[in-house]
Amino acid sequence: MSPGAKKRVLIFIVAYHAETTIVEVVRRIPAPLLEEYDFELLIIDDSSQDQTFALSYKLSRQTEAPFKIHVLYNPKNQGYGGNQKLGYRYAIEHGFDIVALLHGDGQYAPECLPELLKPAASGAAAAVFGSRLLTPRSALKGGMPLYKYVGNRILTRIENYLLRTSLSEFHSGYRIYTVDALRRIPFELNSNGFHFDTEIIIQLVIAKLAIAELPIPTYYGDEICRVNGIPYAMNVVKACLHARLQEWSLFYDRRYDCGQKTFSRYRPKFSFESTHTAALDLVPEHSKVLELGCATGYMALALRDKKGCRVTGVDKYSICEDSFDEFHRRDLNASLADVPIEANDYVLLLDVIEHLSSPEALLEELRGRLGRAELIVSTANVAFLATRIMLLAGQFNYGGRGILDLTHTRLFTF
């Protein structure tokens, strides 16, 4: 986008049986927004059986409308989350910078759009939520039923605890997203139901994308609530628990695999009895060591600092190169013909063979070239208690790290 050009904003209205409110919602969108943004309106009617689509389409044909209005109709009901997927995909494919979600029932005030758009437009936040709970008791004064207020508070506290966040409200449907943020998270894997809103918050948190909250007025009219409270609450808590378990590598779901990809998942294990402490004990002082598959170089540093060893590293990535006396950037799935294997006293192959496409080929090459060197090999213990419990529960989920690391190609018994 050229300097000084207006941000392209898509105002996206989800509408279902909104014939009595949709026209007024559109008319309340502040026309002065056109001075700051190049914006268009998208209305998606989710298979309503009333006049919602007809009235929306009529609005789109009015020549005096100050902004473009696009109207789509779902021949089959897609659900609240399903409609959001359609709207956000539309925003991505049509080159918008920001998308603002409104509801066709008028529960969220379009007049708040100018303030809500500012943090996203300035780059201060990837997502902006209109919160009904930021201002004390304003939600109750605005007509939110007491049971909904209490339920919202309790659920939000549970979600904040599980996700280690501090949002005032998880359950407002008034949302602004930058399209760049939407491109970076797999929102299309989320539920088609109402807990889509919680799942997308989880994705933003995992991806470390900034979320801002601003107060909005609460309005409850005669609109029909279509959220079944108990199943919704259970789905929300379940989503947060899944995300937390995935953080501990006890569960895996692609929708929550949206964090930054780093090598930090390979962590040194010197603070307790482990393959790392065993390998360190087995290597005598001042030995020449060849380490195949180096992670971030923590083993090499321990061998050099504690044992005075000379360590040569071999890995397809060079992020750990500075930890070694000598380093060869090689893919262990290919030949190591030019790597001086024979010149070493010990060869370390720690938690590596399960990552290889053909570990037999590497082991066969090492067998013919080890000479006097000793080979120290470790691999994941598939009888680990946590793995057994997962199997007992019918789960066999590969994750970001641990025994069922996504990069593993196979598992081994002793």
DSSP 312-357: EEEES--TTGGGSSEEEE--TTS--TTS-GGG-SEEEEES-GGG-S
d(CA 191, CA 198): 10
Q: Is 62 left (phi over 0), alpha (psi -120 to 50) or beta?
A: beta
Global pTM reads: 0.77
* 8 Å CB contact between 328 and 320: no
User: Quick count: other Cβ atoms within 10 Å of Cβ 318?
Assistant: 12
| Range of weakest confidence among 94-103, 135-144, 237-246, 274-283 | 135-144
So what's the pLDDT on residue 1? 59
* Residue of 80, 236, 250, 253 whose CA lies nearest to 163: 236
d(CA 193, CA 349): 47
* 8 Å CB contact between 104 and 14: yes
d(CA 62, CA 275): 72
So what's the pLDDT on residue 406? 74
So what's the pLDDT on residue 263? 47
pLDDT for 331-369, tens place per residue? 999 888 889 999 999 999 998 888 898 889 999 999 889
Pairing of strands 127-131, 175-178: antiparallel
So what's the pLDDT on residue 128? 97
> 200: which 2 tokens?
């997308």
Which amino acid does the sequence have at 353? I
So what's the pLDDT on residue 292? 93
* Residue of 171, 199, 178, 179 whose CA lies nearest to 81: 199
pLDDT for 30-65, tens place per residue? 988 999 999 999 999 999 999 999 999 999 998 777
So what's the pLDDT on residue 225? 61
Mean pLDDT of the chain: 89
So what's the pLDDT on residue 226? 66
Distance, C-alpha 176 to centroid of its chain: 17
The predicted model gives 282-286 an average pLDDT of 95
